[in-house]
Amino acid sequence: MVRSRDRTRRRPAYRRRPQEFYWLWIAATATYGVGDIVSTIAFLQYVPTIEEANPVVVFALDTFGLGGLVGLKIVVYLVMLWISVTGARDGDALIYYFPPVLLTLVGTYLTASNVRLLWLS
């Protein structure tokens, strides 16, 4: 059997290695989705002297409340998921891996930063 080097004929990475795909996005969801949202809500509710620094998040919170924060996170998450799936379909490993890894790193940093702010207050 001869394997084709044509990327359009290969199965996407998320179909060849579904466990990897799921775990990448579980990590992104746990850190960026759950960790950052919960820690942001905690410091906004329990430490009124601390204000959100991100102007986009401030706009979402001021306009739609906590639902705006969650909605904004969901939109960013879905866009990044779409980019990752597109990269997998095109056979581009960088575009496949970059979104979940980026969200995991950003989510970990933001969660740690928020917990630090809670701890110091």
Q: Could you tell me the two tokens for 9?
A: 């004929």
- Tell me the pLDDT tens digit for each residue of 60-93: 999 999 999 999 999 999 999 999 999 999 989 9
CB atoms within 10 A of CB 55: 8
Q: How far apart are CA 84 and CA 93, in angstroms?
A: 9
> Residue 25: which of 77, 90, 94 has the closest Cα?
77
- Tell me the pLDDT tens digit for each residue of 30-64: 999 999 999 999 988 888 888 888 999 999 999 99
